[in-house]
Chain A
Amino acid sequence: MMKYEPPLEKISVNIRETVVGHGEKALKIGGENTLPFHFFEGSLPNPPGLALEILDTEPENWAPSVLEPFEDVVSDPVKWAKKCVEVFGAEMLCLRLLSADPMGKNGSAEEAAEITKIVADAVDVPLIVWGTDMEEKDAQVLTQVARACSGKNLLLAPLVKGNYEEIAKAAMEHGHAIVAQASMDANLTKELNIALCKFFPPEKIVIDPTASALGYGLEYTFSIIEEIKQFGLADKDKMMQMPILCDFGGDCWRTKEAKENREQGILWEAITGITFILAGANLLILRHPEALKLIKEMVV
């Protein structure tokens, strides 16, 4: 009979460890030297970070089953943030600065920074701050936010090819981490990281390959994350060793399937999340507290 030897694969490099937040509740993500859940052949010092998202503006058109847990707090981002931490056990939050969206209310960068500061002061968990997804506006908004929240080690997102320089400089000056976003392309991800690392500390960069929902492009995100992780770990490419973030709550809850039924919606989001963790995501931004709880039970 042939003898079985477990075909273990030891990897000699690590994904970088990134710290988000400050003080006792600061969270570390990344740091592993193996694939997700591969405790049998490597070390994964930090469980995936799980953030709940809140908006600075009352949400429109949210499906009833995802609005319901927050119904009493959506008009006030501070209350909303506190509920997520105190009631839903969120260890990290993502504040989305919808108020500044040029396609919407188009509030000023100063106002957005002010709201951010108020929320950041009200909770002690780490904070991701998400801009408007509009390159030029985000250059203003996120630099203002960086300044207003100096020293809080926020995670500022998203930085793209067209605006990374200004935002990253402000982040560096005021001690924040950043999210480098390049959509669905390993080469573009690498290019952006190389450009950033010319002046920005690599351990403060998180990669956003852009995520999509189950049934609506999930397979693209799944494969691009696996590919980036292979470049980082198996091929030891230093510019691909940053932790990976996935933001998909909004896309999930927009789907017909999630809106149709509460349990189906929670599973839609939770399965999307765990699939990305399996691919190698280190940080998820979630919308429904039940999806957060479920993923936490399974992976932490």
Chain B
Amino acid sequence: MALKGAEIMKMLPKTNCKECGYATCFAFAMKLATGGAKLEDCPYLDPQVKAQLEAAMAPPIKLVTIGTGENTLSIGEEQVMFRHEKTFFHEPGIAILISDKGAESEIEEKLKHINTFDFERIGQKLRINLLALCFESGDKDKFQALVKKAYQTTEAALILICEDTDVLFSAAALCADRKPLVYPITNENMNVAIPKLKKLGVAAGVKGQSIDAVVSVTSDLKDAGIEDMVLDPGFKNMLEGIRDQTLIRRAALKKGFRPLGYPTIAFPCFMYPDRFQETLAAAALMTKYAGIVVWSQANAHFLLPLLVLRFNIFSDPRRPMTVEEKAYAIGNPDENSPVLISTNYALDYFIVSAAIEEGNMPAYLCINNTEGLGVMAAWTSGKFNGEAIAEFFKKYGVADKVKHRKLIIPGVAKKLVAELEEELPGWEIILGPLEGSDIPKFLSEQWKA
């Protein structure tokens, strides 16, 4: 829960000694409330009061990190229930499940996949960040071998899943410096687990059969000084998962209920044998608040839609994605190269420029500033109409770049043709394909300067 400056002020020494660098305790309190100062800066705070303030000022959902280096996953510290209220801050992790019971070749295959999965969208890399290694063989050596292999051949963040606490922690010891998540930590094993969690410094995947059961474990772990936890209240299908994850987030955000102020983990891989259903459940559980989804598919066609969904839901609604207005020269165009026009909605620019590159036909791509609106939304609001485009042509001297007089416009913008014929006399307006990705085919079949 955020504390107000006045509330913080009550707990400060009120001597105005200035050692914190502020003129008064009050000024320091105000700065603390907005996150601009650190409690440590006041040397006179009573340690007990400091602990109290720390607890009260901490974000309602703890930020938990798993893994290291480029593959560090940071989840939690969400502030809202609904994306439109502000934004969602931390993309959930997508973990691929690997069982130690699986055939050697299957394991190899999945490990290889995590290294090679690499999609780009709007200039951003979309990737899987985690492997969930699962003990099912009953053979400790096999599990350890799997953990070692995953540790050595990938840089992924790791989740270790094992009901046998000894096996679990012996495996954790093999990869502790990778900062794995160990799962499950339950009411039954926590007394054994607590010293080991502390010693290895790894995050705890807390499991209970209900939210209540989870609360009793997280409270004890917290008292024992363990901070990094991820929660599994034992939901067994999509519906229960939406319920539990909603209640957990609500309890943390709206009630300031600390024992549930952690991200959650969901296991669609154990819920739905059908891989389409599993994928839909993963999509739903991710959208409704999972911090991590564990998923059994290492298939690109199943993975891509999930990655794109995550990218969409976790994009920031406060900032439209835009690129710079400009007449882009793509692949060394000359005076006979095609001229195309689109908007400065980043998605449009990336789709169209990638399509031009793919078709290997150099072109001028005019990117008109539409304040981040796509073709038709921009057309309707007057930011991508005949007039605006004619102005763009003048400003960037498009007519001087080419000898021909042909302009290719987006296929969805039929309504633009007449306007442009009027505003750009002498230019032939050519309606391109509806879909940006069909541009290569369109150019190779139809372009003549």
Contact = CB atoms under 8 A, between A and B. Distances in A.
B243 interface: yes
Contact of A1 (B215, B246, B317, B380): B215
A216 B434 CA distance: 13
Contacts of B304: 257, 264
B165 interface: no
Contacts of A261: 301
Contacts of A223: 82-84, 317
B305 A267 contact: yes
Which of A61, A215, A270, A275: most chain B CB closer than 10 A? Answer: A215
B212 A4 contact: yes
A80 interface: no
Contacts of B305: 214, 257, 264, 267-268, 271
B309 A271 contact: yes
Contacts of B377: 183-184
Given A6-B211, A255-B435, A266-B276, A275 B309 contact: yes
Nearest to A217: B374
20 contacts: A2-B215, A6-B251, A7-B254, A37-B243, A38-B246, A103-B414, A214-B312, A219-B315, A222-B287, A222-B312, A224-B84, A256-B436, A257-B308, A267-B301, A268-B305, A271-B279, A271-B309, A274-B283, A275-B313, A298-B280
B436 to A, nearest CB: 8
Q: How large, as a class, is the contact surface on chain A?
A: 35 or more
A275 to B, nearest CB: 6
B254 A267 contact: no
B37 to A, nearest CB: 29
A266 B380 CA distance: 31
Contacts of B250: 7, 9
A183 B258 CA distance: 40
A294 interface: yes
A17 to B, nearest CB: 22
Contact of B121 (A215, A275, A297): A215
Secondary structure class of chain A's binding surface, majority of residues: helix
B98 interface: no
Contacts of B398: none
Contacts of A298: 238, 277, 280-281, 284
Contacts of A270: 276, 280
Contact of B287 (A39, A254, A267, A278): A278
Given A38-B242, A257-B305, A261-B301, 17 more contacts: A2-B215, A2-B259, A39-B239, A184-B377, A214-B308, A215-B311, A219-B312, A223-B83, A226-B84, A257-B308, A263-B301, A268-B305, A270-B276, A275-B283, A275-B284, A275-B309, A278-B284
B246 A2 contact: no
Contact of B215 (A4, A227, A254, A268): A4
A230 interface: yes
Nearest to B121: A215
Contacts of B380: 183
B189 interface: no
Contact of B302 (A61, A216, A222, A263): A263
Interface of A: 1-2, 4-9, 37-40, 61, 103, 183-184, 214-219, 222-224, 226-227, 230, 254-257, 259, 261, 263-264, 266-268, 270-271, 274-275, 278, 294-295, 297-298
B255 interface: yes
Contacts of B288: 278
Contacts of B277: 294, 297-298
Interface string B410-435: 00001000000000000000000011
Contact of B83 (A40, A222, A263): A222
B257 interface: yes
Nearest to B415: A103
A37 B306 CA distance: 21
A218 B312 contact: yes
Nearest to B314: A219
A162 B305 CA distance: 37
B2 interface: no
B236 to A, nearest CB: 14
In the A-B complex, the 10 residue pairs with the smallest Cβ-Cβ separation, listed nearest first, are A256-B437, A264-B301, A223-B84, A219-B312, A215-B308, A7-B250, A267-B305, A1-B219, A4-B215, A271-B283
Contacts of A264: 301-302, 304-305
A226 B309 contact: no
B397 to A, nearest CB: 32
Contacts of A5: 255
A7 B215 CA distance: 14
A46 B216 CA distance: 37
Contacts of B306: 271
Interface in B180-239: 211-212, 215-216, 219, 238-239
B247 interface: yes
B260 interface: yes
A7 B251 contact: yes
A274 B84 contact: no
